[in-house]
Amino acid sequence: MVIMASFFRCVTAAAVLLVLIVTTSEAGNFKAGDWIAAHATFYGDSTGLDDDMGGACGYKNMQAIGFGCNTAALSTPLFDNGKACGGCFEIRCTGSKYCLPGASSVTVTGTNLCPPNYEKNPDKYEGGWCNPPRLHFDMSMPSWLSIGQYEGGIIPVMYRRVPCQRSGGVKFKFSGNAYWLLVYLLNVGGPGDADGVWVKGDNTDWIAMSRNFGAAWQAFSNLGGMGLAFKIQAHSSDDTIICNAVADASWSAGVTYQAAINFDS
């Protein structure tokens, strides 16, 4: 009863965010993919909003950044060294007595890594569900309970990549300093992910940033006192967008700036 009450509180709190997680079949050049077989478990507390849900991607406060409680940690092949951070996956339970009767599917955002445990043999149901090469989703409890029954623990699923529907432009959370800019990409629509990021100051050419980890990108250049623009190359499609005038010359670390455009706008 406590679990279900927390689940409904999560759904109620996230109601205003539903527009962010509803999927369509196409956004920009990114289209929904084919259905692929996998498995799913759940982790975290019953709210699905714990900051630990975004650790390997660098996300915090799932509600504030628009992901709500529909998130998942991805096994190594799905996580792809952080390239899947921010991507959206539609998941449905299939072929199990533990599928929730009447449930259709749920769309989650990839926000974390489900690490392997080589001491456990998943073929013997000992654990190790995320051991490569397994395709596995360790979902937040509320998202898992929307397609599976609690006593099942692990269920077979079908999944596909789908476009992320976000509200407004891409967000850039600044950290670091004038000589080392660290930026977390948030609220990325369409493919939801990034394979390359560039920054341009008022007095510079485009500077290639490198992935620090997950959704965090860094540039080792003196960018203090300059307005900044960004270019993002998606990982899961051929889309590239240029976000002009993201931050003015007075930008500072600890502030989140929002562009006027997104992949799906």
SS3 string of 184-228? Answer: EEECCCECCCCCEEEEEECCCCCEECEEEECCEEEECCCCCCCCE
Per-residue pLDDT averaged across 71-76, rounded?
97
Q: How far apart are CA 119 and CA 3, in angstroms?
A: 30
| Global confidence as pTM | 0.88
19 pLDDT higher than 60: no
The DSSP element (H or E) to which 95 belongs, if any, is none
Rounded to an integer, what is the distance from CA 134 to the centroid of its chain? 19
Taking residue 130's Cβ as centre, other Cβ atoms within 10 Å add up to 26
CA proximity to 119, closest of 109, 129, 110, 133: 129
Q: What one-character DSSP code corresponds to residue 13?
A: H
Confidence of residue 114 (pLDDT cuts 50, 70, 90): very high
- The predicted pLDDT at position 20 comes to 34
How does residue 24 score in pLDDT terms, banded at 50, 70 and 90?
very low
The CB density around residue 126, as the number of other CB atoms within 10 Å, is 11
Query: Which region holds residue 44: left if phi is over 0, alpha if psi is between -120 and 50, else beta?
Result: left
How confident is the model at residue 123, as a pLDDT?
Answer: 83
Tell me what the mean pLDDT of segment 78-98 comes to: 97
Contacts of 201 (CB under 8 A, 6+ apart): 207, 221, 223, 226, 227, 228
Asked if 71 contacts 57 with a C-beta cutoff of 8 angstroms, the reply is: no
Contact criterion met (CB below 8 Å) for 41 and 143: no
pLDDT category at 75 given cuts 50, 70, 90 is very high
Average pLDDT over residues 48-71: 85
CA torsion, ordered 3, 136, 50, 54, to nearest 10 deg: -160
Q: Which amino acid is at 93?
A: C
CB atoms within 10 A of CB 133: 7
In this predicted model, which residue has the larger pLDDT, 155 or 44?
A: 155
DSSP 148: B
By residue count, the chain amounts to 265
